[in-house]
Amino acid sequence: MKHSKSEASSDDGVDRRVFVKTAAAVGATGLAMPVWGSATASDRIKVGLVGCGGRGTGAANQAINADPGVMLWAMGDVYEDRLKNSFNGLKNQHGTRVMVGDERRFVGFDAIDKVLDSGVDVIILATPPGFRPDHLEKSVAAGKHVFCEKPMATDMPGLRKVMETAKKAKAQGTQLMSGFCWRYAAPERAVYGEINDGALGEIESVHSTYHTGPLGTRARTPDMTDMDFQLRNWQHVNWLSGDIIVEQAVHSVDKMNWAMGNRPPVKATALGGRGLREGAERGDVFDHFAVVYEWDNGARGFLTCRQVPNCSNDNTDWIAGTKGIGFVNGWAPRQSNLKFADGSKEFRYRGGTPNMYQTEHNELFKAIRDGELLNDGDWMTQSVAMGILGREAGYSGRTITWDEIMNSQKSIVPEDPQFGPMPPLEIPAPGVYKFS
């Protein structure tokens, strides 16, 4: 897309419009929507991206597409090569909407601080999730609107920090949107909306799957420190990713939580392990989990997730209630339907299937303009806690209650991550691993 020259002119010295201080102020300063190519400096919404990988670059693209006043203003990553690739791709695609000069490209663990200091209004947090609690806390403390990718933490001390941060965002009136993208998908909204409205009666069981192949790895090279090796293979390192159940299958856990009306389970029991013996790149994570969640009314949720090559893949949910059964296919939403025990006509979503990732950003930037406050804090942290509960039950081999997980003190993220040596990674052994 081409843009007018005036749009490209630097506005470093222009007074930014202050978008938020309180929810009321959001409404009071709500901006008129500029038309394409006519965004003046005061219409602009400056976005910062921290974590310039696949998802972060995608989210920045969607932010730019969401609103003609959005400018990508600053970028941060621990690696120059990742930042450069992301910048080049976005610059080629969006030209002058990407206003990230050399002075606003930050590399290192402190990139988050520098992006937050660069004058952005909105921040996209898309690093590996081990860093999310800290990055979120800093972003909200700096008064920024936040789009944060899932999951929001890899351990409970981190997640409790996110819970506090989410409350602060609400209190100060800044936006907090999660990357739980299926919550923003039109077909899922229709189906889970019907379920939450009671179309299937009381929900008695949910079976959710996330079965797919393994994520990529990067071989160790002589220049890599332990930290580099872990960061370049972060999906396979528990402190960085939260394991496959928290990093990926948490989408299915989140839909289970949605089907249950965002009510937490009372306990979980799980099996898990690692069938394939591969190289050090595969870190310390499992390649499969099977979790049984139990609710206080006797309802049960069954989650199976797997990352193993050459097996059948699946991303579906079966939801059985007293009045019928629902089926949701996350990868083929037009197959989703509700069938009713009384024989009445089934429910099927017949509307469009707009890109859910784009919908997230359309809604975020519209909310910023309109002064409507979005805060995904409660349910997003509950879904992540359910993921961590399933993982810890799988690692330890013991049934863990909701109260136990909410009070878990196990901290797995280093206090002050730096490049250099790291303790060796240990693959958990059920029956030996101690939950705390």
Q: Which residues bind ligand NAD (CB under 6 A)?
A: 50-56, 76-79, 82, 109, 111-112, 126-129, 131, 149-150, 179, 181, 231, 247
Nearer of residues 20 and 98 to ligand NAD, judged by Cβ: 98
Among residues 86, 75, 177, the alpha carbon closest in space to that of 136 is found at 177
Tokens 């069981």 sit at which residue?
205
Least distance from ligand NAD to the Cβ atom of residue 180, Å: 7
Block residue for tokens 């939260």: 242
- Helix, strand, coil percentages (3-state) for the chain, rounded to 5, are 40, 20, 40
Is residue 338 within 8 A of residue 200, CB to CB? The reply is yes
Query: Shortest distance, CB of residue 293 to ligand NAD, whole angstroms?
Result: 21
- As measured in angstroms, the least distance from the Cβ of 108 to ligand NAD is 8
User: Quick one: 127 or 175, whose CB is closer to ligand NAD?
Assistant: 127
Instruction: Give the integer Cα–Cα distance in Å for 40 and 357.
Output: 27
Question: Other C-beta atoms within 10 Å of 194: how many?
Answer: 15
Contact at 8 Å (CB) between 95 and 403?
no
Using the structure block, give the residue that is written with the tokens 């929810």: 23
Phi, psi of 258 (to 5 degrees): -65, -50
H-helix or E-strand spanning residue 270:
strand 267-273
Q: Which residue's CB is nearer to ligand NAD, number 242 or number 326?
A: 242
Residue 226 CB, nearest approach to ligand NAD (Å): 14
Question: What size, in residues, is the chain?
Answer: 436
Nearer to ligand NAD, 127 or 205 (CB): 127
Q: Which is nearer to ligand NAD, 111 or 374 (CB)?
A: 111
Nearest-approach distance from CB 72 to ligand NAD, in angstroms: 15
Instruction: Report the relative pairing of strands 203-212 and 267-273 from DSSP bridges.
Output: unpaired
Give the closest residue to 144 by CA, choosing from 174, 100, 106, 178: 174
Closest distance between ligand NAD and the C-beta of residue 230, in Å?
Answer: 10
- How many whole angstroms separate alpha carbon 229 and alpha carbon 51? 17
The nearer residue to ligand NAD, 44 or 144, going by C-beta atoms, is 144
Nearer to ligand NAD, 243 or 247 (CB): 247
Q: Tell me how far, at minimum, the Cβ of 415 lies from ligand NAD, in Å.
A: 13
DSSP 395: H
Shortest approach of ligand NAD to residue 278 CB, angstroms? 19
Which residue number is nearest to ligand NAD in terms of Cβ? 53
* Gap between the Cα atoms of 24 and 30, Å rounded: 10
Of the two residues 284 and 404, which places its CB atom closer to ligand NAD in the complex? 284
Handedness of CA 134, 140, 143, 145 (dihedral sign): positive
Cβ neighbour number for residue 56 with a 10 Å cutoff: 24
Closest to ligand NAD by CB, 283 vs 371, is: 283
d(CA 308, CA 318): 22
Report, in Å, the least distance between residue 175 CB and ligand NAD.
Answer: 17
Helix (H, G, I), strand (E, B) or coil at 338: strand
Q: What number of CA atoms fall less than 13 Å from residue 342's CA on the CB side?
A: 8
CB of 182 within 8 A of CB of 356?
yes
Comparison of 53 and 133: residue with beta carbon closer to ligand NAD: 53
Q: How far is the CB of 322 from ligand NAD (least distance, A)?
A: 32
Distance CA 12, CA 10 (A): 6
Distant-in-sequence, close-in-space partners of 336: CB < 8 Å, separation ≥ 6 = 187, 188, 191, 326, 327, 328, 329, 348, 349
| CB 110 to ligand NAD: min, Å | 9
Please say which residue, 131 or 347, places its beta carbon nearer to ligand NAD.
131
